[in-house]
């Protein structure tokens, strides 16, 4: 069995009121329901009555088949959220408390609790009057999300203390992801490989992509930074009224990485005109105005610290990370849907085909995308003419 893809046993039943009693919370727990569209953790919105005032919290059962060392992961998250809260307080503003995730500790003071089934739970303040989107609706959405993720990277450049724990080793090691696919094809536990010959051929045809960023890193042109590593568009909350980026969430994979992994996943998840699992591939395309919004927002936040090589690979990073996630979906399909949550038979295959279709479109338009990035960087560095 591939060590990154352990089989998923069914989740144990949930008693949210019992979980609530384990956290340092006040008031009466009114119950909760599943929330959001994440593929990894089990997330619930839980309502409380606090002396007549309605208050909500997010409870999350952390997927500890995917994250092997949850205490280490929670140590990372405690450090990162403390830093983000400190920065939000410095900047002031009347919504500083929404600008960083806030952990509610367990009654024993730890940032998580373990239930009677051995599952790990954490609790966050609910970020109100903001939401996540699965599909970018406007280029302004993209700009705001990219600015928020770029600000988050900048915030983490000064993170004091030891190197963060690697919560999933080799998370963006695309060569490893490619090898995992080859291993899955060899093992083929459900005899699915024959039916996905075209997708496997596409993966093999693009093997030349997998080492490009690793080589840049080895050459010292793309330094290790602290990065988010899962900058999917639905991992940033946008304000309901202004649509500005309020808070970066889903911090499980914040760890050492490359800036381009983050930008690449923004391109993958934000530019697609279709949902990530849309089976009708004629709907899949890379939307250039959305890409332009991403570059503008990201450069506004991160333009000062990116190296020249990083800037030159913005478009490529989108192609690579889209390919990488496509490899992971295809691997999971062949292995029997053991990693990502699925809601229908063939769901991971639909996702893989969708991502590969997006790779094709990015590939066809990579030079135009590079020109957009070069132009926006140039405009940013050139002072506006005096009117
Ligand atoms: P996963 O790792 O499974 O993707 P996330 O941490 O991204 O889990 O949470 C899933 C969804 O729950 C998010 O996309 C978002 O919509 C919602 N969510 C998470 N944290 C909060 C929060 N503190 N306040 C409000 N909504 C949240
Ligand atoms: C998962 O947790 P979520 O849904 O935000 C996955 C990402 C993938 C993404 C694809 C820890 O993200 O790496 O890019 O699905 N997270 C993990 O939609 O594997
Ligand atoms: Mg998420």
What is the DSSP annotation of 98-132?
GSS--BPPBTTS-S-EE-TTS-EEEEEE---SEE-
CA distances for 205 relative to 293, 356, 360, 362, 375, angstroms: 31, 12, 12, 16, 31
For residue 4, being part of any structural domain is answered with: no
Q: Among 133-147, 186-200, 357-371, 373-387, whose mean pLDDT is lowest? A: 373-387
- Whether 143 and 296 have beta carbons less than 8 Å apart is answered as yes
Q: Do 245 and 360 belong to one domain? A: yes
Q: Summarize pLDDT for 48-67 with one digit per residue, the tens.
A: 999 999 999 999 999 999 99
**For position 11, what pLDDT does the model report?**
63
Q: Output the CA 381–ligand 3 centroid distance in Å.
A: 34
Q: Do 75 and 156 belong to one domain? A: no
β-sheet bridge partners, residue 48:
29, 55
Q: Do 177 and 112 belong to one domain? A: no
Closest Cα to residue 297, out of 325, 272, 262, 341? 262
Q: Do 185 and 298 belong to one domain? A: yes
Q: Do 284 and 322 belong to one domain? A: yes
* In the predicted structure, residue 261 carries a pLDDT above the cut 60: yes
Measured by CA distance, the residue closest to atom 17 of ligand 1 is: 36
Angle between helices 347-364 and 259-271 (to 10 degrees): 100
Percent of the chain with pLDDT over 90: 91
Q: Is 56 in the pocket of ligand 1 (CB under 6 A)?
A: no
Q: How far apart are CA 188 and CA 267, in angstroms?
A: 31
* In the predicted structure, residue 360 carries a pLDDT above the cut 70: yes
Q: Do 40 and 186 belong to one domain? A: no
Q: How many CB atoms lie within 10 A of CB 119?
A: 18
**For position 177, what pLDDT does the model report?**
98
**For position 95, what pLDDT does the model report?**
84
Q: Whats the size of the chain, residue-wise? A: 387
| Ligand 1 pocket test, candidate residues 8, 11, 56, 58, most atoms within 8 A of CB | 58
Closest Cα to residue 22, out of 105, 103, 102? 105
**Which ligand lies nearest to the CA atom of residue 249 in the structure?**
1
Q: Do 307 and 218 belong to one domain? A: yes
Atom of ligand 2 nearest to the CA of 40: 2
CATH number, domain containing residue 357: 3.90.1200.10
Q: Summarize pLDDT for 7-27 with one digit per residue, the tens.
A: 455 566 799 999 999 999 999
Q: How many CB atoms lie within 10 A of CB 191?
A: 8
Residue 21 tokens read as: 């009693």
Q: Summarize pLDDT for 205-238 with one digit per residue, the tens.
A: 999 999 999 999 999 999 999 999 999 999 999 9
Secondary structure (3-state) at 275: coil
Secondary structure (3-state) at 345: coil
Q: Do 123 and 150 belong to one domain? A: no
Residue 159 tokens read as: 């993170």
**Total number of domains constituting the chain:** 2
For residue 32, being part of any structural domain is answered with: yes
* In the predicted structure, residue 184 carries a pLDDT above the cut 60: yes
| Ligand 2 pocket test, candidate residues 3, 34, 39, most atoms within 8 A of CB | 39
Q: Summarize pLDDT for 70-93 with one digit per residue, the tens.
A: 999 999 999 999 999 998 888 888
For residue 330, being part of any structural domain is answered with: yes
Q: Summarize pLDDT for 285-322 with one digit per residue, the tens.
A: 999 999 999 999 999 999 999 999 999 999 999 999 99
Secondary structure (3-state) at 48: strand
Atom of ligand 2 nearest to the CA of 265: 14
For residue 164, being part of any structural domain is answered with: yes
Q: Which domain holds residue 31?
A: 16-128
- Whether 183 and 325 have beta carbons less than 8 Å apart is answered as no
**For position 8, what pLDDT does the model report?**
52
| φ/ψ of residue 212, rounded to 5 | -60, -50
Q: Do 165 and 103 belong to one domain? A: no
Q: Summarize pLDDT for 92-136 with one digit per residue, the tens.
A: 888 888 999 999 999 999 999 999 999 999 999 999 999 999 999
Q: Do 177 and 320 belong to one domain? A: yes
State the greatest distance between any 2 C-alpha atoms of the chain, in Å, as a whole number: 68
**For position 2, what pLDDT does the model report?**
42
């Amino acid at each position: 069995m591939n060590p990154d893809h352990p089989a998923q046993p069914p989740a144990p039943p949930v008693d949210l009121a019992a979980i609530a009693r384990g956290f340092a919370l006040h008031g009466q727990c009114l119950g909760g329901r599943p929330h959001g569209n994440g593929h990894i953790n089990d997330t619930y919105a839980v309502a409380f009555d606090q002396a007549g005032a309605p208050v909500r919290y997010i409870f999350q059962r952390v997927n500890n088949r995917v994250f092997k060392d949850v205490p280490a992961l929670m140590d990372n998250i405690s450090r990162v959220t403390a830093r983000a809260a400190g920065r939000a307080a410095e900047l002031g503003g009347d919504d500083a408390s929404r600008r960083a995730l806030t952990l509610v500790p367990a009654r024993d003071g730890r940032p998580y609790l373990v239930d009677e089934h051995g599952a790990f739970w954490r609790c966050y303040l609910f970020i109100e009057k903001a939401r996540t989107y699965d599909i970018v609706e406007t280029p302004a959405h993209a700009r705001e999300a990219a600015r928020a993720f770029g600000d988050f990277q900048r915030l983490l450049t000064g993170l004091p203390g030891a190197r963060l724990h690697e919560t999933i080793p080799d998370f963006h090691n695309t060569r490893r992801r490619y090898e995992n696919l080859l291993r899955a094809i060899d093992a083929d536990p459900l005899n699915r490989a024959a039916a996905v010959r075209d997708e496997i051929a596409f993966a093999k045809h693009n093997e030349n992509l997998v080492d490009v960023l690793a080589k840049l890193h080895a050459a010292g042109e793309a330094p290790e930074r602290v990065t988010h590593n899962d900058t999917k568009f639905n991992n940033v909350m946008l304000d309901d009224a202004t649509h500005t980026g309020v808070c970066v969430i889903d911090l499980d994979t914040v760890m050492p990485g490359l800036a381009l992994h983050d930008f690449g996943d923004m391109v993958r998840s934000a530019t697609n005109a279709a949902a990530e699992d849309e089976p009708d591939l004629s709907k899949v395309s890379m939307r250039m105005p959305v890409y332009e919004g991403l570059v503008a927002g990201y450069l506004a936040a991160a333009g000062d610290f990116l190296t020249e090589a990083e800037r030159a690979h913005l478009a490529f990073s989108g192609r690579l990370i889209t390919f990488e996630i496509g490899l992971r979906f295809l691997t999971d399909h062949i292995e029997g849907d053991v990693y990502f949550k699925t809601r229908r038979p063939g769901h991971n295959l639909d996702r893989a085909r969708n991502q590969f279709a997006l790779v094709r479109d990015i590939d066809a338009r990579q030079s135009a995308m590079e020109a957009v990035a070069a132009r926006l960087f140039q405009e940013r560095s050139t002072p506006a003419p005096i009117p």
